[in-house]
Amino acid sequence: MTQNASKTASFLIFTDLDGSLLEHETYSIEPAQPALAALARRGVTPIFASSKTAVEILAIQHVSGIAAPFIGENGAAVYDSTGKVLTAFGLPRKSWLNEVHQLRERMSFKFNGFSDWSIKRIAELTGLCQEDADKARIRQFTEPMLWQDTQTNFQLFLKELQKLSLTTLEGGRFFSIQGHFDKSGGMKWWQAHCSESRPFLVAVGDSPNDMSLLAAADVAVIIKSDKSHKLNPVGPATVLRTRMPGPAGWNEGIKQVLNLLDSQQLLIL
Ligand SMILES: [Mg+2]
């Protein structure tokens, strides 16, 4: 049953980074600053939920003046504010990457991923500087890749991955080869372990790898992107779609959530 959230209801915000809080190409956070400041005034710190590595997320938190726990590598683990793993949902990448490469060899699948690329190549493909590309390269749980083969072979690849207890998730730039986890697992874990009362949940994302997070929230904010039309979560009582992409959209979406909350028009479960 849905209800209007009271003005003073406590809430948590889980947000994607690339293409949501961060601009897709430049990685700028600037246009989101007014909404971040409005949240800070209410004592709300956004919890980052990203496909990025812990080292990358810590660097972004540092630049944003945020120190908080976060969800890394597409929900593979929840980390504390120092980057220590609090809980892990994924098997270590080093335990399965060789098998995936053997599978590629055996079936002649055409794809390349982070483990195949130099720092320079990762920098070219992501738009990151080489120092940041190096932070992105050191992954514990996921292998982002570009598929260069047919759709039929992709389905075959997925079937073979199943035998290794692996799957893929589509992000803004890459497909991630990983275990059966997603960002919502981290959000639910966080809610169960770290909240005394039941706060309502706001999730923000722009790509299919955010779908689980958006679907499990009370309020979903879908940031406009090339892929946002694919996102149709049915779970949330409120679904907002921004007109603008990236951090400008983030600013727009969060301000809309706060306005609805203040006018007691925000529907939650
Ligand atoms: Mg994204």
For 218-227, write each residue's pLDDT tens digit.
999 999 999 9
196 and 172 in a common domain: no
| pLDDT reading at 195 higher than 80 | no
* Residue from 267, 265, 268, 261 nearest 8 by CA: 261
Cα 27 to middle of ligand 1, angstroms:
11
Q: What is the pLDDT of residue 55?
A: 93
Q: What is the pLDDT of residue 194?
A: 75
Cα 57 to middle of ligand 1, angstroms:
13
Cα 228 to middle of ligand 1, angstroms:
10
* Residue from 246, 204, 235 nearest 19 by CA: 246
DSSP calls for 15-32? E-TBTTTB-TTT---GGG
189 and 134 in a common domain: no
119 and 56 in a common domain: no
146 and 32 in a common domain: no
Cα 1 to middle of ligand 1, angstroms:
30
Q: What is the pLDDT of residue 202?
A: 97
* Residue from 178, 177, 157 nearest 108 by CA: 157
Output the average pLDDT for the chain.
95
DSSP summary character for residue 95: G
Q: What is the pLDDT of residue 153?
A: 98
Q: What is the pLDDT of residue 191?
A: 87
Cα 171 to middle of ligand 1, angstroms:
6
261 and 191 in a common domain: yes
| pLDDT reading at 232 higher than 90 | yes
Residue 219: enclosing H or E segment and its boundaries?
Answer: strand 219-224
| pLDDT reading at 170 higher than 80 | yes
| pLDDT reading at 5 higher than 80 | yes
230 and 156 in a common domain: no
The model's pLDDT over 74-125, given as tens digits with 9 standing for 90+, comes to 999 999 999 999 999 999 999 999 999 999 999 999 999 999 999 999 999 9
The model's pLDDT over 14-48, given as tens digits with 9 standing for 90+, comes to 999 999 999 998 999 999 999 999 999 999 999 99
Q: What is the pLDDT of residue 13?
A: 97
pTM for the model: 0.93
Q: What is the pLDDT of residue 63?
A: 87
Domain boundary among 138, 155, 178: 178
Q: What is the pLDDT of residue 198?
A: 80
242 and 193 in a common domain: yes
132 and 83 in a common domain: no
Structure tokens at 159: 């079937």
231 and 114 in a common domain: no
- Work out the percent of the chain whose per-residue pLDDT is above 70: 99
pLDDT-derived band at 9, boundaries 50, 70, 90: confident
51 and 12 in a common domain: yes
193 and 60 in a common domain: yes
Domain boundary among 137, 162, 178: 178
- Per the structure, how many domains does the chain have? 2
Instruction: Provide the CATH number for the domain around residue 169.
Output: 3.30.980.20
pLDDT-derived band at 256, boundaries 50, 70, 90: very high
Domain boundary among 130, 160, 178: 178
Cα 207 to middle of ligand 1, angstroms:
5
The model's pLDDT over 173-189, given as tens digits with 9 standing for 90+, comes to 999 999 999 999 999 99
- Expressed as residue numbers, the domain containing 122 is 93-178
Q: What is the pLDDT of residue 218?
A: 96
- Work out the percent of the chain whose per-residue pLDDT is above 90: 91
186 and 80 in a common domain: yes
